[in-house]
Structure 1
Amino acid sequence: MEWITRLMEALGSPGAGLAVALENVFPPVPSEVILPLAGFTAGQGKISLLAAILWTTAGSVAGALVLYFLGAWLGLERLRRIAERVPFVSVSDVDKADAWFDRHGNAAVFVGRMVPVVRSLISIPAGVSGMPLGRFTLYTAAGSLVWNSALILAGYALGENYELIDRYLGWVSTAVLAALAIAIAWFVVSRLKARRS
């Protein structure tokens, strides 16, 4: 928190954008902390509210592009070769996931940018599936703009109580992680049962 505050004090709104870009790639501090703090800082008149929204959205897109290009580098064929060596995973699983992303990729990227935990990870399958860069950037920017605006405006409105946002959204992040853990456990158990039968 202190580092983010110093970053915004030193660089202004671009500092908030840089923090969000780093959070997308290395998420030790979630956007649920950075964005309300940016709103609170704007409320104190230290940075512009509009500039905070624009710079953090630009930072979100920049961070997402790093992971998109990581997914593009990984590629579908390489992912298939990896799947052949990973227990409980098959090449057909990769193909099904890719087909699903081809059908629902636009919505997945847009909505995924507003879901804790998923918001960073969604960029990788977009790159793997070869989603056109322009379309990926457009939906990432749109989803990020909604999410960033909501949290920055909430921090602006709550003032010194901006930390309440992280407290309540922390439950959402925990629920998402729990859902992912349950889905993985169900996947592994179902594959074990299939092998035994």
Structure 2
Amino acid sequence: MDHVTAGSPARAMADSSAPGWIDSLMDTLGAPGAGIAIALENLFPPLPSEVILPLAGFAASTGQMNLLAALLWTTAGSVIGALALYGVGALLGRDRTVAIAARLPLVKVADIERTEAWFARHGAKAVFFGRMIPIFRSLISVPAGVERMPLPVFLVLTALGSAIWNTAFVMAGYALGERWDEVSGYVSAYSKVVLIAAVLAVLGFVAMRVLKRGTGVRRG
């Protein structure tokens, strides 16, 4: 039976470590429920993929969920969530993006143009490897939509990158069994490093802009 039954070992473990709605989805729908949870995680990055995926792996290890189904459904959920964000970027379009950016302090249209040029050169790698970086794994779909990356290419890269990320975490939960929630500790540390790096990059960008603006004022 491809679902987590009430009172099962997976259910008991989920009660202590996972948000209730995730447990309910997997309890009711099994592997498709894990896929839906991952699709939502892509749309709302604060949702915990590091909990959803290992929990699905643990459920598979108890025989309450088919392992292959868990891998396929979570990857399908990743692709669906990414496709929705790609659609947001495509609807937003370049002109609206530039108009919004032009109203932001310390951001220039030239910055957008450089970003576009960078994405034109490295977009495929950004979409593929970005699926393995917390926070950015969701956000990378938006510029792909804005730049209208060919949809078949976007879907293939997203599916491949997501499959690698999801398989690693599902299999970790499968291997760890009742200790599946240990995975979240490692991912939390990894996420903090990524977040700190992103914050430092933003602060560096702002500092350079302020310094350039100050130099321009003095010369004037």
Q: What TM-score bracket applies, with the shorter chain setting the length?
A: over 0.9
CA apart distance, 1:79:
1.1
Amino acid at match of 2:137: R
Of 108, 118, 134, 1:100 maps to 118
Between the aligned partners of 2:55 and 2:80, the Cα distance in structure 1 is 20
CA apart distance, 1:26:
1.4
Q: What SS does the aligned partner of 2:106 have?
A: coil
CA apart distance, 1:4:
1.1
Aligned to 2:38: 20
CA RMSD of aligned residues (A): 0.8
Of 212, 215, 218, 1:194 maps to 212
Of 131, 143, 149, 2:167 maps to 149
Which piece of structure 1 moves more, 136-145 or 1-10?
Answer: 1-10
Amino acid at match of 1:15: G
Aligned to 2:133: 115
**Structure 1 spans left out of the alignment, 5+ residues:** none
What is the aligned length? 197
CA apart distance, 1:66:
0.8
Aligned to 1:166: 184
Runs of 4+ in structure 1 deviating by more than 2 angstroms, as ranges, are none
Aligned to 1:180: 198
CA apart distance, 1:82:
1.5
* Mapped pair 1:32 → 2:87: no
Who wins on radius of gyration, i.e. which is larger?
2
CA apart distance, 1:144:
0.3
CA apart distance, 1:45:
0.6
CA apart distance, 1:27:
2.7
TM-score (norm 1): 0.98
Structure-to-structure mapping, 1:55-134, within 5 angstroms? 55-134=73-152
Q: What SS does the aligned partner of 2:191 have?
A: helix
Q: What SS does the aligned partner of 1:75 have?
A: helix
Between the aligned partners of 1:74 and 1:16, the Cα distance in structure 2 is 30
Between the aligned partners of 1:80 and 1:63, the Cα distance in structure 2 is 25
CA apart distance, 1:30:
1.8
Between the aligned partners of 1:153 and 1:111, the Cα distance in structure 2 is 19
Between the aligned partners of 1:57 and 1:122, the Cα distance in structure 2 is 16
Q: What SS does the aligned partner of 2:55 have?
A: helix
Which piece of structure 1 moves more, 120-129 or 78-87?
Answer: 78-87
Between the aligned partners of 1:33 and 1:16, the Cα distance in structure 2 is 11
Q: What SS does the aligned partner of 1:46 have?
A: coil
Between the aligned partners of 1:30 and 1:111, the Cα distance in structure 2 is 19
TM-score (norm 2): 0.88
Between the aligned partners of 2:102 and 2:162, the Cα distance in structure 1 is 35
Between the aligned partners of 2:136 and 2:148, the Cα distance in structure 1 is 19
- Report percent identity of matched pairs: 56
The structure with higher relative contact order (CA 8 Å, sep 6+) is 1
